[in-house]
């Protein structure tokens, strides 16, 4: 096999320099500064800084409100990941059937993902707003009662979960659909010949062959649930009511940019970073064992 070789040892570094500069300025330097800032207590607008070591982390560990935020984050993340992937797989299997106009349906399935989180938030805010939202209007006409989606903590968290699942649905469907269209047809036919029923065929063959795609989507969906719900929550509920939808990324933002507690916000950023890294490593060590590549 032919392998390219550079005549000069410095040429590869010259070609990599623009990328390394951008990564250093916009990624590596901010990350190191965040870890450094987490050990300081910062005054308003950073006019004064005091080194406090791990005090910010200790304060967070003792704060019941922060633990409430962690629990809310776990609930929303679990619901969005499990519910979103399950619904996406069902839709992908339906869309994979040979029907007239299938390519058009496939294109339309991804359009919610093309919307920004802020736009998706506005859509759900309008649909579920008390008084004039079409969802409440229809509920009032059909069942005779309207629900306060934005004022009830239990309903608010359900609303955010539904909005988050809908926003990321197209992304999951496209990947699952691609996986379904590239399944080994001979294995599926062999399962039918062996007398496997629909459920057995799905669980033991189809879902098993989709395990690489499922593993990939599991990681991307967890990352999405931890970091990309900010726009939805900021538009729809702003973390309320009663902090029912105040997830970790939103509390981090409020501490850093509303209350100007930069050191505390940096500590929360480090915790969030560590949590995502830990979850990813656990997934690779556990779920990764059940991933089978190839036919």
Q: Does a structural domain hold residue 6?
A: no
Domain count, the chain: 1
- Closest among 218, 220, 276, 214 to 247, alpha carbons compared: 276
The pLDDT assigned to 116 comes to 87
In order along its 295 residues, the chain shows pLDDT tens digits of 556 676 778 888 888 999 999 999 998 999 899 999 999 888 776 677 888 889 999 999 999 999 999 999 999 999 999 999 999 999 998 888 877 777 777 778 888 888 888 899 999 999 998 877 888 888 878 877 888 898 899 999 999 999 999 999 999 999 998 888 887 777 777 877 777 777 887 787 888 888 888 888 998 999 999 988 999 999 999 998 889 999 999 999 998 888 888 899 999 999 998 988 888 888 777 765 555 555 4
Q: Does a structural domain hold residue 3?
A: no
Predicted TM-score (pTM) of this structure: 0.86
Q: Does a structural domain hold residue 12?
A: no
Residue 259 CA to residue 255 CA, distance in Å, equals 5
- Per-residue CA distances from 183 to 176, 209, 210, 288 (Å): 11, 7, 8, 19
Q: Does a structural domain hold residue 48?
A: no
Q: Does a structural domain hold residue 121?
A: yes
Q: Does a structural domain hold residue 50?
A: no
Residue listed under structure tokens 């805010």: 125
The pLDDT assigned to 133 comes to 83
Parent domain of 127: 55-290
Task: Report the CATH number at residue 100.
Answer: 1.10.3720.10
Residue 245 CA to residue 225 CA, distance in Å, equals 12
């Amino acid at each position: 096999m032919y392998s390219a070789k550079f005549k000069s040892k410095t040429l590869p570094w010259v070609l990599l320099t623009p990328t390394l500069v951008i990564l250093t300025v916009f990624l590596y330097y901010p990350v190191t500064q965040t870890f450094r800032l987490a050990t300081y207590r910062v005054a308003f607008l950073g006019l004064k800084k005091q080194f406090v070591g791990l005090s910010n982390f200790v304060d967070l560990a003792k704060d019941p409100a922060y633990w409430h935020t962690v629990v809310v984050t776990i609930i929303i993340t679990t619901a969005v990941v499990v519910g979103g992937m399950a619904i996406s797989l069902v839709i992908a299997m339906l869309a994979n059937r040979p029907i007239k106009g299938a390519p058009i349906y496939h294109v339309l399935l991804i359009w919610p993902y093309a919307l920004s989180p802020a736009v998706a938030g506005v859509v759900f805010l309008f649909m579920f707003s008390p008084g004039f939202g079409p969802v409440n209007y229809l509920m009032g006409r059909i069942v005779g009662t309207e629900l306060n989606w934005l004022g009830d903590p239990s309903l608010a968290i359900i609303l955010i979960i539904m909005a988050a699942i809908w926003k990321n649905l197209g992304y999951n469907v496209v990947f699952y659909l691609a996986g379904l269209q590239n399944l080994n047809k001979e294995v599926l036919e062999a399962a039918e010949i062996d007398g496997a029923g629909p459920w057995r065929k799905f669980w033991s063959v189809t879902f098993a062959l989709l395990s690489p795609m499922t593993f990939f989507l599991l990681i991307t969906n967890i990352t999405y649930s931890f970091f990309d719900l900010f726009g939805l929550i900021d538009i729809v509920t702003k973390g309320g009511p009663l902090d029912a939808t105040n997830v970790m990324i939103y509390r981090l933002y409020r501490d850093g940019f509303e209350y100007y507690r930069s050191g505390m916000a940096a500590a929360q950023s480090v915790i969030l970073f560590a949590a995502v890294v830990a979850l990813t490593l656990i997934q690779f060590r556990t779920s990764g064992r059940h991933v089978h590549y190839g036919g």
